[in-house]
């Protein structure tokens, strides 16, 4: 089988961690027998320098011709003086999401075994390991509803159509089916009419997934439960704004941003085929540590794992990558951001090599 991906490394630590993910990709090609053709394109600050804009048409064309986008990160102090919409992040990521209708954002918050010390929560709350997946609706709700501004008042509108709720619910149920078979849908149905509708539609969709247990939770309670007892969750489903807030909260539980991958999908992944999507670390371009060879490549490597899982419909490959990362951490190797007493400090390239050989 041959697949093609657009490789958009971007700025700061993006190219450094991407290099390690590509080492892992070479190995995965051998293991899976899938040939993955790579086309490199500029995005973010480097694209502004080389082409005059953060998302050149040529980069969009490269993405359109590919089965998936592997994205690094964009941004840096040298582009911060540009007007907001022209800056690397707003000028590249938002238009990419819009252009490809990436309506589902999946962000796992993972605490690997042995890394509970990196979490700001007490070790007994984290337990042996933690793996919560936040599925966030990315193109509807309060952020995209009608906005009005007058001298003495302003308003935003939360609108969800049945179609928008159904399609994100299907993605969340299917993800839960491949994991712990538990889905918690977040709403504020006690106050918001749009959220009463959300709850009704999610409940309707649940009838197609009798093997997944569905529960509902108000968003304020969910914010509290995530720090009180995060292990009660498997998959969390939330509308755009609630998901924005809860996924950031969940990612902090994991400790370092350098560990967390994400996927943004344009459809429900079909078995063996996947769905078009953009796969990237949850963190940014980390200009404070760029160019020093000390960035943690694990988020980028796990993003590649998610690309196989959701982009190519090969969930078993994500499992292999996850296990290789766990093995390297269990042997005590750490990059600086997750280093604790008694562990062995390694740089970005060495971490990439260790994970590749563990595979
Ligand atoms: P950041 O995520 O880049 O960095 C926050 C902190 O986390 C820093 O201390 C950084 O060193 C650390 N960190 C992040 N990734 C790491 C890794 N892989 N290994 C080790 N440490 C890591 O967020 P920021 O400082 O707020 O933003 C920096 C730039 O990144 C800005 O220009 C911002 O616009 C951009 N940004 C881009 C994206 C994206 O490309 N998706 C997302 C967020 C921020």
Asked if residue 221 and residue 97 are part of one domain, the reply reads: no
Question: Which CATH number goes with the domain that contains 137?
Answer: 3.40.718.10
Query: pLDDT category, 115, cuts 50, 70, 90?
Result: confident
Query: pLDDT category, 108, cuts 50, 70, 90?
Result: very high
Nearest residue CA, atom 31 of ligand 1? Answer: 75
Query: From the CA of 89, how far away is ligand 1's center (Å)?
Result: 11
Asked if residue 129 and residue 75 are part of one domain, the reply reads: no
- Mutation test residue for ligand 1: of 16, 138, 285, 347, the one with most atoms within 8 Å of CB: 285
Provide the pLDDT for residue 154.
97
Asked if residue 141 and residue 86 are part of one domain, the reply reads: no
**pLDDT per residue over 262-319, tens digit each?**
999 999 998 889 999 999 999 899 999 999 999 999 999 999 999 999 999 999 999 9
Q: What is the per-residue burial (b if ≥16 Cβ within 10 Å, else e) of 261-274?
A: bbbbbbbbbeeeeb
Asked if residue 191 and residue 275 are part of one domain, the reply reads: no
Nearest residue CA, atom 10 of ligand 1? Answer: 286
- Of 236, 253, 270, which residue is a domain's last? 253
Provide the pLDDT for residue 42.
98
Query: From the CA of 292, how far away is ligand 1's center (Å)?
Result: 15
Residue list, ligand 1 pocket, CB within 6 Å: 13, 17, 73-76, 89, 93, 256-258, 280, 283-289, 295-296, 299, 337
- Of 253, 273, 302, which residue is a domain's last? 253
Asked if residue 55 and residue 144 are part of one domain, the reply reads: no
Region 31-56: what's the mean pLDDT? 98
Range with lowest mean pLDDT among 69-78, 117-126, 169-178, 187-196: 117-126
Query: From the CA of 314, how far away is ligand 1's center (Å)?
Result: 29
Asked if residue 189 and residue 64 are part of one domain, the reply reads: no
Nearest residue CA, atom 44 of ligand 1? Answer: 284
- Mutation test residue for ligand 1: of 14, 74, 102, 283, the one with most atoms within 8 Å of CB: 283
**pLDDT per residue over 199-239, tens digit each?**
999 999 999 999 999 999 999 999 999 999 999 999 999 99
Q: Which are the catalytic amino acids?
A: 143, 188, 220, 244, 248
Question: Environment class of residue 349 by beta-carbon count within 10 Å: exposed (0-12), middle (13-18) or buried (19+)?
Answer: middle
Residue 186's alpha-carbon distances to 152, 230, 233, 236, 313, in angstroms, are 32, 14, 12, 7, 27
Q: What is the per-residue burial (b if ≥16 Cβ within 10 Å, else e) of 311-342?
A: bbebbebbebbbebbbebbeeebbbbbbeeee
Is residue 114 included in any domain, yes or no?
no
Q: How many domains does the chain have?
A: 2
Provide the pLDDT for residue 291.
96
pLDDT at 74 over 90: yes
Is residue 316 included in any domain, yes or no?
yes
| Residue 213 to residue 351: CA distance in whole angstroms | 38
Query: From the CA of 166, how far away is ligand 1's center (Å)?
Result: 33
Is residue 193 included in any domain, yes or no?
yes
Asked if residue 185 and residue 128 are part of one domain, the reply reads: yes
Mean pLDDT of the chain: 95
Nearest residue CA, atom 33 of ligand 1? Answer: 75
Provide the pLDDT for residue 144.
87
Asked if residue 131 and residue 217 are part of one domain, the reply reads: yes
Q: Which domain holds residue 43?
A: 1-101+261-359
Provide the pLDDT for residue 256.
80
- Of 191, 223, 253, which residue is a domain's last? 253
Q: What is the per-residue burial (b if ≥16 Cβ within 10 Å, else e) of 115-126?
A: bbebbebeeeeb
Is residue 6 included in any domain, yes or no?
yes
**pLDDT per residue over 140-194, tens digit each?**
999 889 999 999 999 999 999 999 999 999 999 999 998 999 999 999 999 999 9
Asked if residue 124 and residue 245 are part of one domain, the reply reads: yes
pLDDT at 255 over 80: no
- Mutation test residue for ligand 1: of 72, 93, 286, the one with most atoms within 8 Å of CB: 286
Query: From the CA of 190, how far away is ligand 1's center (Å)?
Result: 36
pLDDT at 116 over 90: no
Query: From the CA of 33, how far away is ligand 1's center (Å)?
Result: 34
């Amino acid at each position: 089988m041959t697949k093609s991906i657009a490789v958009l490394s971007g700025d700061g630590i993006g190219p450094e961690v991407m290099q390690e993910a590509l080492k892992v990709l070479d190995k995965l090609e051998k293991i899976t027998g899938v040939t993955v053709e790579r086309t490199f394109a500029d995005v973010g600050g480097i694209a502004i320098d080389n082409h005059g804009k953060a998302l050149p048409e040529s980069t969009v064309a490269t993405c359109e011709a590919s089965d998936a986008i592997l994205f690094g990160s964009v941004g840096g102090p040298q582009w911060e003086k540009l007007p907001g919409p022209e800056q690397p992040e707003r000028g590249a990521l938002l238009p990419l999401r819009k252009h490809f209708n990436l309506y589902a954002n999946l962000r796992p918050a993972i605490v690997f075994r042995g890394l509970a010390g990196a979490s700001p929560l007490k070790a007994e709350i984290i337990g042996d390991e933690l793996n919560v997946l936040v599925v966030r609706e990315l193109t509807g709700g309060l952020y995209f509803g009608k906005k009005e501004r007058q001298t003495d008042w302003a308003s935003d509108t939360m609108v969800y159509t049945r179609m928008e709720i159904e399609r994100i619910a299907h993605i969340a149920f299917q993800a839960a089916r491949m994991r712990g078979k538990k889905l918690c849908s977040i709403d504020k149905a006690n106050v918001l009419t749009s959220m009463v509708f959300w709850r009704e539609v999610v409940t309707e969709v649940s009838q197609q997934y009798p093997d997944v247990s569905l529960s509902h939770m108000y968003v304020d309670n969910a914010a509290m439960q995530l720090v009180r007892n995060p292990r009660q969750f498997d998959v969390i489903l939330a509308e755009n704004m609630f998901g924005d807030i809860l996924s950031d909260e969940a990612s902090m539980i994991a400790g370092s941003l350098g560990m967390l991958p994400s996927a943004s999908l344009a459809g429900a992944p079909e078995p063996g085929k996947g769905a078009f999507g953009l796969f990237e670390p949850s963190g940014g371009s980390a200009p404070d540590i760029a160019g020093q060879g000390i960035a943690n490549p694990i988020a980028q490597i796990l993003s590649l794992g998610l690309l196989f899982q959701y982009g190519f419909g090969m969930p078993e490959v994500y499992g292999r990558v996850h296990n290789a990362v766990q093995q390297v951490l269990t042997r005590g190797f750490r990059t600086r951001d997750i280093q604790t007493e008694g562990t062995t400090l390694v740089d970005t390239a060495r971490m990439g090599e260790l994970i590749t050989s563990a595979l």
